[in-house]
Amino acid sequence: MNATIRLQREDFDAAAETAKLVHGRTDIGAVVAFTGICRDNEAGHGVAAMTLEHYPGMAEEEIARHVLDAQARWPLLGVTVIHRYGRMVP
């Protein structure tokens, strides 16, 4: 199974990442995606921005552990995890 894990500050195109994951493959029956976004309020309080931090090395290891857990539970053919960090606005 091919697994890609990236931590990055830059935005990315989720559709382009999906296209890369399935390119040339005819054995894939489904693609599941989760994309988190920054909302403009939390419990009635305005949110101007949020900053996501990470601990280099530790974050990648923890994400890899989750990928291995998922791989043990389901017959995954490929995984791409892109975790953004830095300042994000609604």
What pLDDT, on a 0 to 100 scale, did the predictor assign at position 72? 97
Q: At residue 3, does pLDDT exceed 90?
A: yes
Pairing of strands 2-8, 78-84: parallel
Closest CA to 88 of 60, 33, 54, 48: 48
pLDDT (tens digit, 9 = 90+) per residue, 4-40? Answer: 999 999 999 999 999 999 999 999 999 999 999 999 9
Domain ranges of the chain: 2-88
Phi, psi at 24, each rounded to 5°:
75, 5
What pLDDT, on a 0 to 100 scale, did the predictor assign at position 10? 96
What pLDDT, on a 0 to 100 scale, did the predictor assign at position 36? 93
pLDDT (tens digit, 9 = 90+) per residue, 34-77? Answer: 999 999 999 999 999 999 999 999 999 999 999 999 999 999 99
Q: At residue 1, does pLDDT exceed 90?
A: no
What pLDDT, on a 0 to 100 scale, did the predictor assign at position 81? 98
Residue 20 contacts by C-beta under 8 Å, 6 or more apart in sequence?
80
Class of domain 2-88: alpha beta
